[in-house]
Amino acid sequence: MTATANPLLQPWPAPYGLPPFAQIAPEHYQPAFLAAMAEHLGELDAIASTAAPVDFANTALALDRAGRSLQRIALLFNNMAAAETSPALQAAEQVVAPLLAGHEARVLQHAGVFARLDDLHRHRHDLGLDAEQVRLVERFHLDYCLAGARLAEPERNRAAAIAMELAGLCTNFTQNVLADESENGLWLTQSDLVGLPAGLISAARQAATQRGKPDSWLITLSRSLVVPFLTQSPRRDLREQAWRLWMERGRLRADRDNLKVANQILALRTELAALHGCATYADHALRDTMAAQPAAVTTLFDRVWRPAVGKAQAEREALQAAAAELGEPADLQAWDWRYLAEKVRAARFAIDDAEVKPYFSLERMIEAAFACAQRLFGVTFSEVAGVALYHPDARLFEVRREGDLVGLFISDNFARPTKRGGAWLNEYRYQSVAGGRVLPVVGNHNNFNKPDADQAALLSLDDVRTLFHEFGHGLHGLLSQSTYQRLACTRVLKDFVELPSQLFEHWALEPVVLMEHGRHVHTGEPMPQALLDKVLAARKFGQGLETVEYTLSAYLDMALHTRTDGGTLDIAAVERQLMADLGVPAGIFGRHRPAHFLHLFSGPDYAAGYYVYMWAELLEADAYEAFTEVGDPFDRAVADRLYRHVYSAGNRAAPGDAFRAFRGRDPDPGAMLRKRGLGG
């Protein structure tokens, strides 16, 4: 295929420079990647062979601007593989993922480039550079060092080979999970619907329609559908079936057992860590984090674990009492926990999901998120009509601040068989200024249940928090004001990246926000004060379960990545032993089981890094108290500091420095415990 026939290698004439989605086919990617990778290596060779003495412009700035053609293709490809895949695209992914991993290794082990960068790094404080320029030099230098630029050639070559093999295995792992989610679920009959709320029935009908059976009902393995079913269904036998399918995805077929794939990944990660002189993969992965070493992570977990277990035990006793009253079996199981918890919550707070959800329509909650962003940071969102994206559910918005266009936002909220589960942000284009202003394009991808065509999409409280969480990530990308792309948007340390997202969740439950935007989907009436009070009173109920589920998964991540026997490991046995050692209350399992733990095994970003959500919570709980201390969730002075030092700052400063610049001190760990109702 010639370059002129490949739309990925041509200028993109679509509005805002968006990809020409309709013109791009899976077969376009591999030749485009090969051409763009060759172009990128040529740019690096030119940097390395520059005759002029090393300086910031011909080394660090040149590196920042190199590889832009490859990057735009890779960002698009990664987004499509997650948000709108197909068998042909998955086949392309199997080929392309190792190619990209090998290319990244060649880039970060380029001896000529590193020699110049190393020279620049040694003299960075003697060249009159500003703070952001010094930061760019330091980040590039660390990127190269962590990738093995200082290793001897045989070790560098082996590290590159491992990276390529890991890319293929991680792709297999991800595709196995998606296959299980797409092929499996709990099919219901009319009689199975008894006791389910109308919204859940509608979502199950829509899910069945997407699978080609419009006269049936399907509980998919998407969290936003299976969790409400586990919460609402009075049929214990069906709850058990749904729970087992949900927990076992990733190994529902023997020929795609992800525990075997995970074992191979763990073995290669251990070998990679050893090449870098690290005892375990966790030691290697944490070198460029705020935590820095595994011991700091386990210290954080240990601070939370005992209070969380105590709270979960108390919750369990309440559930057992509810089971006795309802005539449910006394042997509380994992598939009973959410159902009984909802009964206790309804009795204790006189509240139920069916009463609350009509006030949480998707459209009004999107408006609420936009309104909070405007009040805090002065940004507005205007929907753009007539621009074709990759799927009819995806919507495009212009984002402006003080009248100026600052970015583009893609909102993609509904589950579908061609979309992986979970919720995430992806950038389609990073922001930068050097060499000409480039506006960011970011996308939020959720998996909410799509209702029948004549009904509004209604969210649970958990869905609302997810929407605000991902929108916080979106703002982090959209508000970026970095000069250099390497320091822009969400390209920060992985245990800092969740701060803007988790912090933004707080505004979802602010009374003033709920009173203004939590309006009944049919009447438009605001949420009654009595109901609002009950919602706010109930929000800390169930924190024992939630904290134990999350922390157990984070402990498992560390347990797997601090071992050195990957390849021969009985991963299921490690999980069982960990639960026994920790004293996990009966009926609770980790939020993620090993065979579908995408954070760990879909790539390196969260491997030995699932702890980052709690680390970020330690930061964001204290950060939000800056607003509560002044008595105004939209205080202008606090919001301005938050904008300058967090949301717009990218990676211009070290994260600890950025937090101190915002808060005036180091974070108070007690804020996180207070937020979760665990003391502090």
Stretch (H or E) spanning 428: strand 424-429
The answer to whether the CB of 598 falls within 8 A of the CB of 422 is: yes
Q: Which uninterrupted H or E stretch holds 412?
A: strand 404-414
- Cα(351)–Cα(528) distance, integer angstroms: 13
Where does 292-403 show beta strands of DSSP type E? 379-384, 395-401
Q: Which residue has the tokens 């700035």?
A: 61
Tell me how far apart the alpha carbons of residues 568 and 422 are, in angstroms, rounded to a whole number.
30
**What one-letter code names the amino acid at 389?**
L
Q: Is 470 a catalytic residue?
A: yes
Beta-bridge partners for 187: 218
Token pair belonging to 503: 């912090």
Considering the candidates 43, 165, 427, 470, report the single residue annotated as catalytic.
470
Residue type, 139: R
| Among candidate residues 614, 617, 555, the one with its CA nearest the CA of residue 584 | 555
**Burial of 656 per CB tally in 10 Å (0-12, 13-18, 19+):** middle
CA dihedral 128, 132, 134, 139 (to 10 degrees): -160
Residues near 328 by beta carbon (within 8 Å), at least 6 away in sequence: 236, 322, 336, 340
Is residue 298 within 8 Å of 561, Cβ to Cβ?
no
**Count of all residues that appear for the chain in the document:** 680
Q: Which of 543, 572, 481 is nearest to 262 (CA)?
A: 572
Which residues does 677 contact at the CB level (< 8 Å), separation at least 6? Answer: 311, 540, 543
332, 587 contact by CB (below 8 A): yes
Residue indicated by tokens 């026939």: 5
Q: Are strands 424-429 and 441-448 parallel, antiparallel or unpaired?
A: antiparallel
Measured between alpha carbons, how far is 367 from 444 in angstroms, rounded to an integer?
15
Nearest of 506, 514, 549, 557 to residue 533 by alpha carbon: 514
Question: Which residues are catalytically annotated?
Answer: 470
